[in-house]
Amino acid sequence: MPVLRSIRERFASERPLDGVAVAACLHVTAETANLVRALAAGGARVALCAANPLSTQDDVAAALAQEGMEVLAVRGEGPERYAGHVEALVAAGPDVTLDDGADLITALHEGGRAGGMLGGTEETTSGLVRLRALDLACPVLAVNEARTERAVNDRYGTGQSALDGILRATNLLLAGRTLVVLGYGYAGQGVAQRARGLGASVIVCEVDPLRALEARMEGFEVMPALRAAERGDVFVTVTGARDVLTSEHFARMRDGAVLANAGHFDVEIALGDLAALARDVREVRPLVRSYDLGDRRLHLLAEGRVVNLAAAEGHPAAVMDVSFATQALAVEALARGGFPRGVHPVPARIDDEVARLKLASLGVEIDTLTPGQQAYLRVWDDPSP
């Protein structure tokens, strides 16, 4: 993670986070370890808990704890233990939070403890939906909506890692199969493109007319989910909404259909509906639960939890380098203060710096505008000299 490393080195010499209490509710992975180490190098006191009961890499949690960091995360922790860990971070009274799904900052608001905070950051679309519905008592920087994040994390990260999770769990050959992507935001676009690259016929289901048009123009079949339900071999929800696949869809699916969710919360596939339809449920492989509907079986991956982290290792380090560089610089910006309450875009200079550093780490050089071009682009009404 060369971009994050360069930020960590600068943080270690400048100490921009000296005395700042940071609480992070993130997937506890090797990539997250590098982020929290960078924040600690900048002078922050960091505490970390999991953003999902199934995404913690226990060896990483143990290594960070050995380094002296407060880490409250165990893979497979139940809902009560998970909530207890979030509450412990709330009780510590952080100055800055980092969230992946908004559980921590929501709990701070519920406990009336968000008012004095410098602010928080949010890594996901699902989390921002929650935060925009809240009367925020502090600023939040929408890392998920940074340009670098959408391009790199959502499209290339989710595109690859969601399929990685599906393939690790099932060992399916996608070539020759029909894969249905529900949701064609940046992450859905990535899943659709990568699935096509592996030889699948891809159907896209989308409620936004412009996105649906883009999917069609990109060459994918586009149709309502109830029609796609009859056609798909593999279904991937990536919408940020709930009840995207319900009993109506399950009733039409083919024998052997595989159901995976790549959205943050386990609400996109209606798990209660699936259980209600089933005569028998059994684990046929690790992370593959088979629901016997009498005449057909449907296979649910990773309990409907975010499949790229639950069944694989999340986005590769090269992707999280960009996301977490943005997170680190967003925390630094919050620590300087001055943001009003509410959700704000990540400042454009941070986006630009991260993209520049990432290009440099890849050895890619680009052109810059000449002074003449800059002048031309400033003059919109009379371009002639």
Residue closer to ligand ADE (CB basis): 236 or 270: 236
CB of 156 to ligand ADE, least distance (A): 12
CB of 273 to ligand ADE, least distance (A): 27
Cα angle value 204/208/209 (rounded, 5°): 90
Residue nearest to ligand ADE (CB): 314
Residue closer to ligand ADE (CB basis): 289 or 315: 315
CB of 267 to ligand ADE, least distance (A): 18
CA 358 to chain centre: 19
Extract the runs of DSSP E, i.e. beta strands, from the chain. 21-26, 45-50, 70-72, 96-99, 119-122, 139-142, 178-182, 201-205, 221-222, 234-237, 258-261, 280-285, 288-292, 297-301, 342-345
CB of 188 to ligand ADE, least distance (A): 15
The residues of the shown chain that bind ligand ADE, judged by CB under 6 A, are 26-27, 29, 31-32, 309, 314-315, 320
Write down the residue that tokens 């005449």 correspond to: 295
CB of 284 to ligand ADE, least distance (A): 26
Cα 158 from Cα 151, distance rounded (Å)? 11
Cα 153 from Cα 155, distance rounded (Å)? 6
Residue closer to ligand ADE (CB basis): 321 or 332: 321
Residue closer to ligand ADE (CB basis): 107 or 319: 319
Cα 143 from Cα 123, distance rounded (Å)? 5
CB of 35 to ligand ADE, least distance (A): 8
User: Residue 278, SS3?
Assistant: coil
Residue closer to ligand ADE (CB basis): 300 or 309: 309
Cα 229 from Cα 232, distance rounded (Å)? 6
Residue closer to ligand ADE (CB basis): 263 or 314: 314
Residues in the chain: 385
